[in-house]
Amino acid sequence: MHKSDPNGAGHLLGKLEGEARQVPRHLHFVQSLELQQGAGLGLSALQLHLALQGLGHESRLLTTRGGPASAVLPGVCEFTRRGPDRLFFAPGLGRAAADWLGGGDAVVHGHGFYVWPNAVVGWMARRHGVPLVYHPQGMLDPWILRRSRGKKRVAHWLFEDANFRAVRLWRAVSAREADQVRAQGIHAPVIVVPNGIDMAPFGGDRNPARPVRQALFLGRVHPKKGLDLLVAAWAKLGAAAREWELVIAGPDENGYRAVIEGQVRAAGLEGVVRFVGPVSGAAKIAQLAAAELFVLTSYSEGFPMAVLEAMASGVPVLATEECNFPDVAAHEAGWLCRAEAEAVATTLRQAIEAGDDERTQRGRLGRQLVEGRYSWSQLAAELHSACADLL
């Protein structure tokens, strides 16, 4: 675990010799686990919850769902939403939180901000005097903060200001995010614990042998993901791009796919760029196995799970610096660049012209990096220890 500063979390992580500590029960809440409702946010919350359970700790995850509840994962409780999806209002979620908090020794984990679960569960945590841990997951990035400012101000006035004051521990997924927490004037302890990954589903037989090589984008089709940069950069590659196929996999958000499709047509790339829609499970594994390059040119990220999945699959990564993943370059697992069209085009050309052997080697180094540094069990143990010091 990394500290954001020498005076922030240092005392929190220390353990006096012989001191008996309570064992926390963990209650997580997140807006949704659905692909179209913020897949990365829900996935990271779910995997942390399951990792804590795997270590033998009590953990429960409360979330909302657009359709009928389908609680098929251990300790996961889904509640059907009512009203506009963007509010994530789900009767029953609050009562479930109250029942859980009544047992004592609980720590509440809020993944993300600004929605109804934060209002109701945050209020209950304050009412019960239960420690509240917040996981921003990129929501304090300046690019994100500039969007929908009016709605966020209302949410802060209604409930998030009270929650922010009550938070006992902030968990940042990167050193940059720790700095973003401090930039909000927050003085509570901050720890840096990145997202992790379960390696088991990834890294099987790779199948990149195709007449046309594939580069894969995997994520929401959303303005923050920088698909406009990616398409503009691809158009600058000229003949080199025609030897590749750019596959865009992920759910459309608010009709943004039509905007990118228009950009593809305007650039004359209809036969080069292919949209495949949302993928998950075996279909996602297959897409990664077929790719020779993974691309994520986001303007803003917390700690993108898709980059971890690509490296776990042995695929070299091209990402923007705004993805907060400096290990990609530091460990030669791929290439990093600024979130600007010219920089993306230059770096894309480097990746495409690198050759099969170099891309294979970078993919191998990426998998080794994930195996050694991003195990969920290790990361969950670090966070659990920090939470025990809150009780």
Beta strands at 334-337 and 273-277: parallel, antiparallel or unpaired: unpaired
Q: Give the DSSP letter of residue 369.
A: H
- Residue pair 110/122 in contact by the 8 Å Cβ criterion: yes
pLDDT digits (tens, 9 = 90+) for 256-275: 999 999 999 999 999 899 99
Does 213-373 match 2-196+375-388 at the fold level? yes
Average pLDDT for residues 363-367, to the nearest whole number? Answer: 96
Tell me what pLDDT residue 201 has: 86
For all residues of the chain together, what is the average pLDDT? 89
Residue 199: other Cβ atoms inside 10 A: 16
pTM, full prediction: 0.79
Q: Give the DSSP letter of residue 252.
A: B
**φ/ψ of residue 171, rounded to 5:** -110, 110
Is residue 383 over pLDDT 90?
yes
pLDDT digits (tens, 9 = 90+) for 301-351: 888 889 999 999 999 999 999 998 999 999 999 999 999 999 999 999 999
Parse the chain into domains and list their residue ranges: 2-196+375-388, 213-373
pLDDT digits (tens, 9 = 90+) for 76-96: 999 999 988 888 999 889 999
pLDDT digits (tens, 9 = 90+) for 122-154: 999 999 999 999 999 989 999 889 888 999 999
Tell me what pLDDT residue 7 has: 45
H-type alpha helices, 3-72: 10-13, 39-54
pLDDT digits (tens, 9 = 90+) for 22-55: 789 999 999 998 876 666 789 899 999 999 999 9
pLDDT digits (tens, 9 = 90+) for 306-318: 999 999 999 999 9
Cα–Cα nearest to 173, from 319, 362, 45 = 45
- Residue pair 264/257 in contact by the 8 Å Cβ criterion: no
Q: Which superfamily does 2-196+375-388 belong to?
A: Glycogen Phosphorylase B; (3.40.50.2000)
Cα–Cα nearest to 218, from 299, 152, 284, 160 = 284
Q: CB-hemisphere CA count at 13 Å for 174?
A: 20
Is residue 298 over pLDDT 90?
yes
H-type alpha helices, the chain: 10-13, 39-54, 93-101, 116-128, 142-145, 149-155, 161-166, 175-183, 227-236, 256-266, 281-290, 305-312, 327-330, 341-353, 356-373, 376-388
As beta bridge partners, residue 65 has 80
Is residue 195 over pLDDT 60?
yes
pLDDT tier at 207, thresholds 50, 70, 90:
low
Longest dimension (CA), the chain: 69
Residue for token pair 């990167």? 174
Question: What is the C-alpha separation between 294 and 370, in angstroms, rounded?
Answer: 15
| Multiple choice CATH, 213-373, 3.40.1190.20, 3.40.50.300, 3.40.50.2000, 3.60.110.10 | 3.40.50.2000
Is residue 20 over pLDDT 70?
no
Tell me what pLDDT residue 216 has: 97
- Per DSSP, the three-state class of 302 is coil
